């Protein structure tokens, strides 16, 4: 019976594939003109070019998958990944257009594998009113005002005390920063206390590799571990939410309490599932992307002594200007960190943590002279923009000074820089990540000198990871400020 089912399944898929190829070969556009579909290869039936796409690589360059096809077909091409036709856009102008058309010609879209991991109701899959509603809720937490009023002093205190005893120790900075950030955000979001209930973070581990990896759910694959982690973490969160609904915090309300009060409102839009998916995404996004950015920034400045020296000078100067050396960083001081901001822009340009962002065409649309039929998936590929040698000469080298004259939002660099997506979906966590990274660098360079001792190699599958971590040996600077 299984054999029969398998045969009919394969037959069905093959027939479906042929019908689908024929459909696009003969289909006509709206005004009776033939579609001019983007060029590109659909690879093998069903698997398409999936294996090429997921092939691991350890360089900071444009992923070979994109690079080779761009050379062959031009800046817009089609391919087939995990059974789905995807049009890849690599040109800044097209990408910015797609971002700006969010909700009109395009809407954000995630692969099924993504929705399985983040839940049907995750923020990325919601649109229109519901999306705005959740976005506003998140902004009350990490918007500009709370960042200024609450986060800056709290992050500073937290990093100072967490890094106070790093003298003479060797740490994997990826692991150490992930743990510090996770504990901090989990405390803010759900009053999580790692000492009484350890192990929540473990469920998020190896997550980014699994998330942007081949979505094959069988034991042993990164994707399988990722799903397992998700279900354990969701179980924990669900129990915590249930407990909290019985015993709300009256004082020191956290994001859980905020969600619960929304859940209890008459005619609320929020459901428990949406709330849990939201907490899950926020926990994951904050610590994983931020700890990767911290590790990359540290790696880049460690490997570039001139940049490290300039960074140290900037932060020593901030300390030197303070009357009370032990006082907290102020918003004005944060805003004065110009070189740090260049270092961060350059780190994020090179990091390209995600290979692409997906959108779905809502109508037939023209991009770069080609037709994209309604319903097709488009992958916006910031990597190709960020590593464009005409905009960023010597694109894979770390050069924070290239940002010095780039502040003008009309500059060519600004037009080619959209690491967090653009338009209304501009990542809500951007300011948090930048703030966190700046404060982290401030604390490290004013307190410590260090040497890299092991690791630091990156791997893209195509999600970015540090397979061997990044191990660093720290030494206290004499007379460093000690607030802890």
Q: How far is the CB of 404 from ligand NAG (least distance, A)?
A: 7
Which residue, 215 or 422, has its beta carbon nearer to ligand NAG? 422
Tell me whether residue 40 or residue 422 sits nearer to ligand NAG (CB atom): 422
What is the nearest approach in angstroms of ligand NAG to the Cβ of residue 460?
8
Residue among 258 and 480 whose Cβ is closer to ligand NAG = 480
Query: Nearest approach, Cβ of 341 to ligand NAG (angstroms)?
Result: 5
Partner residues linked to 170 by β-bridges: 473
Q: Which of residues 135 and 477 has its CB atom nearest to ligand NAG in the complex?
A: 477
CB 168 to ligand NAG: min, Å: 4
* Nearest residue (CB) to ligand NAG, 406 versus 412: 406
Which residues of the chain form contacts with ligand NAG (CB under 6 A)? 57, 59, 61-62, 64, 167-168, 341-342, 345, 403, 406-407, 417, 476
Shortest distance in whole angstroms from residue 32 CB to ligand NAG: 43
In angstroms, give the least distance from the CB of 40 to ligand NAG.
Answer: 19
Nearer to ligand NAG, 197 or 407 (CB): 407
Minimum CB distance to ligand NAG smaller for 167 or for 484: 167
Instruction: Please give the residue whose beta carbon sits closest to ligand NAG in the complex.
Output: 61
What is the C-alpha radius of gyration for the chain, rounded to an integer number of angstroms? Answer: 24
CB of 347 to ligand NAG, least distance (A): 11
- Shortest reach from residue 325's CB to ligand NAG, in Å: 15
* Of residues 204 and 417, the one with the C-beta less far from ligand NAG: 417
């Amino acid at each position: 019976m299984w054999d029969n089912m398998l045969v009919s399944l394969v037959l069905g898929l093959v027939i479906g594939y042929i019908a689908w190829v024929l459909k696009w070969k003969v289909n006509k556009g709206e005004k009776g003109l033939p579609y001019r579909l983007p060029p590109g290869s659909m690879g093998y039936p069903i698997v398409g070019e999936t294996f090429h796409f997921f092939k691991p690589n350890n360089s900071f360059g444009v992923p070979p998958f994109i690079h080779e096809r761009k050379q062959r077909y031009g800046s817009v091409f089609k391919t087939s990944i995990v059974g789905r036709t995807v049009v890849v856009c690599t040109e800044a102008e097209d990408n910015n257009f797609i971002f700006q058309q969010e909700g009109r010609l395009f809407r954000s879209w995630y692969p099924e594998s993504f929705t399985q991991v983040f839940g049907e109701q995750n923020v990325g899959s919601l649109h229109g009113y519901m999306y705005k509603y959740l976005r506003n809720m998140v902004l009350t937490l990490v918007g500009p005002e709370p960042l200024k009023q609450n986060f800056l002093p709290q992050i500073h205190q937290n990093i100072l005390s967490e890094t106070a005893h790093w003298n003479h120790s060797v740490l994997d900075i990826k692991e150490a920063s992930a743990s510090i950030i996770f504990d901090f955000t989990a405390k803010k979001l759900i009053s999580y206390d790692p000492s009484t209930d350890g192990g929540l973070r473990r469920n998020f581990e190896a997550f980014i590799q699994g998330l942007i990896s081949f979505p094959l759910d069988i034991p042993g694959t990164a994707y399988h571990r990722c799903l397992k982690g998700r279900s354990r973490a969701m179980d924990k969160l669900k129990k915590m939410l249930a407990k909290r609904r019985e015993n709300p915090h009256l004082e020191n309300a956290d994001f859980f309490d905020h969600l619960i009060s929304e859940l209890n409102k008459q005619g609320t839009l929020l459901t428990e599932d949406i709330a849990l998916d939201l907490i899950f995404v926020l926990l994951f996004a904050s610590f994983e992307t931020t700890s990767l950015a911290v590790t990359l920034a540290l790696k880049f400045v460690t490997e570039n002594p001139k940049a490290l020296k300039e960074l140290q000078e900037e932060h020593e100067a901030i300390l030197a200007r303070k009357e009370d050396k032990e006082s907290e960083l102020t918003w004005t001081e944060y805003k004065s960190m110009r070189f740090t901001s260049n270092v961060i822009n350059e780190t994020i340009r090179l990091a390209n943590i995600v290979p692409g962002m997906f959108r779905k065409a809502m109508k037939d649309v023209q991009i770069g002279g080609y037709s994209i039929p309604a319903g097709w998936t488009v992958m916006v590929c910031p990597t190709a923009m960020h590593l464009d040698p005409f905009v960023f000469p010597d694109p894979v080298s770390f050069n924070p000074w290239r940002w010095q004259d780039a502040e003008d939002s009309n500059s060519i660099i600004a037009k080619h820089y959209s690491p967090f997506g653009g338009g209304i979906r501009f990542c809500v966590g951007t300011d948090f990540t930048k703030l966190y990274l700046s404060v982290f660098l401030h604390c490290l360079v004013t307190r410590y000198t260090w040497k890299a001792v092991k690791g630091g190699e990156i791997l893209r599958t195509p999600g970015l990871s540090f397979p061997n971590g990044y191990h660093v040996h720290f030494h206290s600077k004499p007379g460093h400020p000690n607030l802890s």
